[in-house]
Amino acid sequence: MNNLIKYNDGEIELAVSVEHETIWLSQSQISELFDTSADNVSLHLKNIYKEQELNENSTTEDFSVVRHEGSRKVKRTIKHYSLDAIISVGYRVSSFKATKFRQWATSVLKEYI
């Protein structure tokens, strides 16, 4: 990972990975961002790729992440999803935070139209 940015909306704080000119989050981070379960995020991602809304190979990347497991530091490979995938999930999740995200995304788009 080239760069880490801290995202803080007042309720959650995420370390966001920036590489290849996009933002990358794990399923766990996406679920935290939209206040939903990791299983729900997984289901939406599966459908996004099944419906060919996005290409899985161009919107996923494996990153090595060091985690603390008890007293040990363990290096794990964790799949991360690009901003395109994060946005697609945000438009499918039904939660207060996802609704706020959609409102924000729509307002940003309107600024450029």
pLDDT for 58-89, tens place per residue?
999 999 988 888 999 999 999 999 989 999 99
What would the pLDDT profile of 13-66 be if each residue is shown by its tens digit? 555 556 667 788 999 999 999 999 999 999 999 999 999 999 999 999 999 988
What are the extents of the domains in the chain? Answer: 3-111
- 82, 61 contact by CB (below 8 A): yes
Position 8 scores a pLDDT of 54
Q: Which residues contact 103 (CB under 8 A, 6 or more apart)?
A: none
Which of 7, 19, 13 has its CA nearest to residue 62? 19
Tokens standing for residue 74 = 């363990």
Query: Is residue 100 scored above 70 in pLDDT?
Result: yes
Position 53 scores a pLDDT of 98
